[in-house]
A and B are shown apart, each in its own frame.
Chain A
Amino acid sequence: NAGVTQTPKFQVLKTGQSMTLQCAQDMNHNSMYWYRQDPGMGLRLIYYSASEGTTDKGEVPNGYNVSRLNKREFSLRLESAAPSQTSVYFCASSDVNEQFFGPGTRLTVL
């Protein structure tokens, strides 16, 4: 089992560029999440998907879009990147007991 995988691991963008962060899980979980982690602010939920075909906004959705492509995959898109979106992004999935996290994507927007 690979668990939760994310690509890419690192990315540098210029302001205004777009990109998509990919996430996949092989644990047959219904629920998936995107978080961002910033120093001193813990984890903040961007979007989540309770099940295939549904997505909902979290705490900090502005500037992001998501797609739940199928049960395995949940992507996060930045349409026009801004320096404030410099962060570490984590994808997670959950069962009834706990959340499982990917290794993260470190994104820098110049």
Chain B
Amino acid sequence: GDSVTQMEGPVTLSEEAFLTINCTYTATGYPSLFWYVQYPGEGLQLLLKATKADDKGSNKGFEATYRKETTSFHLEKGSVQVSDSAVYFCALSNTGGFKTIFGAGTRLFVKA
């Protein structure tokens, strides 16, 4: 079945460091790919998405490119801030927002 694998955390960075969180997927067809973020004590919220190969999703300085040849959707940010400390979930869906499959999540700590 479809699945998402993302790097284990926690990831600890200093402020202004470069961030990469790796995500690979297994899926039939051509799924949409997502990154969701969960801030402490809150539910998940959509950070960015891409719906077809070579699309780049971006939001709040984060970006990820849909790579079909490597089945990957790595999350990057050039300069992280303390306020980016959260848990990041990679996800996929073959049906838009319906029945999304989530990765295990990667916790990010950013130190001042």
Contact = CB atoms under 8 A, between A and B. Distances in A.
A94 B42 contact: no
A75 interface: no
Given A101-B43, A102-B43, A94 B102 contact: no
B43 A43 contact: no
Contacts, number: 52
Interface in B42-63: 42-46, 49
Contacts of A90: 43-44
B66 interface: no
Given A96-B96, A97-B97, A98-B34, A4 B43 contact: yes
Interface string A89-106: 010101111111111100
A34 interface: no
A19 to B, nearest CB: 20
Contact of B89 (A42, A45, A96, A98): A42
13 contacts: A4-B43, A31-B98, A42-B89, A43-B44, A45-B99, A50-B98, A90-B43, A96-B97, A97-B49, A98-B34, A100-B45, A103-B41, A103-B43
Interface of A: 4, 31, 40-43, 45, 48, 50, 90, 92, 94-104
Interface of B: 34, 36, 41-46, 49, 89, 96-100, 102-105
Given A42-B104, A43-B89, A99-B46, 13 more contacts: A4-B43, A31-B97, A42-B103, A43-B44, A90-B43, A92-B43, A94-B97, A95-B96, A96-B96, A96-B98, A99-B36, A100-B45, A101-B43
